Structure 1
């Protein structure tokens, strides 16, 4: 699944612009559901106040900024990496694959990608720099972290409607005591990541 915004600056010549994209993901730690990766090229002519690491913002503020980013950015993309792909490639490689896909899905191919973390996908042909803690340092990465977090949280609320006994709307699939208790009581649902140890153990008990 890919979500993409069209450019707002097609009237400017290509050599007048530096397309710098921020990239971040949400959902590496949970036991269930997808990883969501977002890439954003911000518009310097339309600055957005209050961009920050999504984890430091309230849900209400993230939702507000999500609307502003989508309407003010030059372009963005949001990629959904399924639990099945996570199980096939492992969580790190699935996240890196999602970063590459998010960048290549943009309506403008970036001239530089700024990635949150300390690794760059090996198959990425775009010049890139990894920045540890980049979601708190680079506005474009902050914007990407907000889009990814808001999108994934909404997916988990929708998943809660399908599997209401696990508490996904509350804990978003993270390994908290309530989630462990549901796993022990119910076993894994189809969206659980089979490659994660707590899920494997729950499957063995079934």
Structure 2
């Protein structure tokens, strides 16, 4: 599938963070409706992402679907991140796709064909017709090649950033939240402060992530040392 063949693109943001949800988005639009400045969301400044997302939402010929995967679902031992990513893409796509659409999605699996097949089945299970959508292609790095997928990546990132901003306000008394990623020292400091003061992880944390278990273990060890 070439970039010009697709009319629905999907991508997700927040697959790896220790804090906050994962968000998937799907964008249905003609190529003419996508801003020229669109790109993989990681390459764009926050203000540029927000501007593009706002333009897409305001455009009468653009349809947007969003799926939010909570930390509770991520921590559920009965599922896994690959399955949750498939479900999120399928939910977002099903909100906007029509039966004759050509869909391209950023592959969230080492196997592009498997991810595409699972997303296609997920969309079909959410629709009234087994043929919706007829055509799903998954590609690694699709957000760098397909403007529709790049647009979806921007929408997903902006939505997740808004979720993180809301969490930062909710937990303001425990200090800055940071980006929510394990590699962020501010995020790790937030978790340590919260656990030190409350003895447990915040509800916004993915308890099954090693960063979370490490913080809990360190706090327990510290308490034993002081005993």
TM-score (norm 2): 0.75
Which of 170, 179, 183 is the equivalent residue of 1:172? Answer: 179
**Structure with the greater alpha carbon radius of gyration:** 2
User: Relative to 1, partners in 2 of residues 1:167 and 1:108: Cα closer, same or farther, differing over 3 Å?
Assistant: farther
Asked if 1:34 corresponds to 2:21, the answer is yes
* Residue segments in structure 1 that go unaligned for 5+ positions in a row: 1-17
The question of whether the paired residues in 1 share the 8 Å contact of 2:39 and 2:144 is answered with: yes
TM-score, length-normalised on structure 1?
A: 0.82
Any conservation in 1 of the 2:33–2:62 contact (CA below 8 Å)?
no
Measured after TM superposition, the shift of residue 67 of structure 1 is 1.1
**Matched positions, count:** 187
Q: How does 1:1-206 map to 2 (within 5 A)?
A: 20-72=7-59, 73-88=61-76, 89-106=79-96, 108-109=98-99, 111-117=101-107, 118=112, 119-120=115-116, 122=118, 123-124=121-122, 125=124, 126=133, 127-164=135-172, 165-168=174-177, 171-175=178-182, 176-187=184-195, 188-204=201-217, 205-206=219-220
Q: CA deviation at 1:109?
A: 5.0
CA apart distance, 1:177: 1.6
| Aligned CA distance change for structure 1 residues 108 and 19 (closer, same or farther; 3 Å) | farther
Give the whole-Å Cα distance in 2 for the aligned partners of 1:147 and 1:110: 23
Distance 1:24 1:131, change over 3 A: same
Distance of 1:179 and 1:39 partners within structure 2: 29
